[in-house]
Amino acid sequence: MVPLVIAVAFFALIGSFFNSTSSQSTSYGSPATSAPQSTSTAYVYVTGTRVNQRDGPSTSDRVMGVLVEGTRVQLLRDQGQWAQIRSDLGTGWMSSSFLSLNRPTRAQPTTQDRGLRASDVRIIDGDTINVRGITPNVRLVGFNAPETWRPSCTAERQIGERATARLSQLVRNAASIEFERVACSCRPGTEGTDRCNFGRLCGSLFVDGQDVGRTLIGEGLAVPYRCGRTSCPPRPQAWCR
C-alpha cells in the first residue's frame, strides 16, 4: 500500500512541473503583450486616367512613370499644387489635382490624360495646341515661345514661326505622344474662363518621353517660364532686343 501511495505522489509532482513550464512558455511568447502599436499612414488614390509621376514638383521635372486611375499611393507631404507620394515607382511627385482620399469609380477612358496620335494634336503656335476631344485650346506650361499673333517685332514673328514648325515636326515624327492636363496658375474658380489664360486650359506634351518645352528651349526657340500657384509673371521679352 505504501509503494502505491509513493508512486501516485511521484506522478502528481511530475504533472505539476510540466503544467507550470507550459504556462510560463505561453506567457513569455505571447505577441499580444510585446507587439508595438502601428502608426497611421495616409493613403490617397490617383484619379486621372493616366497620370505622370515625376521626380520633382514641376512639369519640367523628369517623368518617372505613369500611374493609372485607382492606384493607391502613400501621401508623404503637400507642396503647393503638388504632392510628394510613394508608389511602386518609388518616391516622387504628382499634381494634387489628380489625387483623392476616395477611391475613384471606374469610368470610361477620357482624353484628359492619354497617349495620342499625331493626328490628335493640332499645333496653334510654339506653346499652344489643340487636342482632339478637349475644348478649348491648351497652353503648354513651363516655357514660353515667341508670339506669331501680334508679335512685338519682326524677329519675334520669325522665331515664333520656326518654333511652331519645329513643334509640328516633333509631333509628326514622334513614336509616342503623351498629354498631361495640369491646373492653370489662376485664381480659384476662374479656370476655363476669359479671366484665366485667355480661356485656355493648361497641360504638358511629351514626345518620345521628352517634354516638348525642353526641346524648344534647348534649340533656342523658347525660354523657361515658371508660374506661381495663382498667377504668372510678365512674359519675357527675349526676342526683341
Prediction pTM value = 0.57
Instruction: Tell me if 187 sits within 8 A of 196, measured CB to CB.
Output: yes
- C-alpha 222/C-alpha 167 separation (Å) is 11
Number of domains forming the structure of the chain: 2
Position 140 in a domain: yes
Residue 218 shares a structural domain with residue 184: yes
Q: Do 163 and 196 share a structural domain?
A: yes
Taking the C-alpha atoms of residue 44 and residue 77, their distance in angstroms, rounded to an integer, is: 12
Per-residue pLDDT, 1: 52
Average pLDDT, the chain: 80
- Specify whether 218 is located in the same domain as 157: yes
Q: Is 32 domain-assigned?
A: no
Report which of 98, 88, 97, 85 is spatially closest to residue 54, judged by C-alpha positions: 85
The cell numbers describing 207, all together, are 514626345
The answer on 135 and 179 residing in a single domain is: yes
Domain membership flag for residue 77: yes
Backbone φ, ψ for residue 161 (5° rounding): -70, -35
User: pLDDT tens for residues 63-88?
Assistant: 888 787 788 899 999 998 899 999 98
Q: What is the mean pLDDT of residues 6-30?
A: 44
189 lies in which domain range? Answer: 113-225
Q: Tens of pLDDT along 184-213?
A: 998 888 887 888 888 899 999 999 989 999
Summarize the confidence of residues 117-133 as an average pLDDT: 94
Give the tens place of pLDDT for each residue, 137-193: 999 999 999 999 889 999 999 999 999 999 999 999 999 999 998 889 988 888 878
What pLDDT, on the 0 to 100 scale, is given for residue 194? 85
CATH code of the domain containing 67: 2.30.30.40
In this structure, the answer to whether residues 74 and 123 fall within a common structural domain is no
Cβ count within 10 A of residue 122: 13
Q: Are residues 179 and 129 in the same domain?
A: yes
In a domain, 86, yes or no: yes
- Is 55 inside a domain boundary? yes
Element (H, E) at 28: helix 2-28
Residues linked to residue 63 through DSSP beta bridges, in sequence order = 54
Give me the phi and psi of 13, to 5 degrees please: -65, -40
Query: Cis link prior to 104 (omega < 30° from 0)?
Result: no
Whether the Cβ atoms of residue 240 and residue 147 lie closer than 8 Å to each other: no
- Cβ atoms of 142 and 211 closer than 8 Å: yes
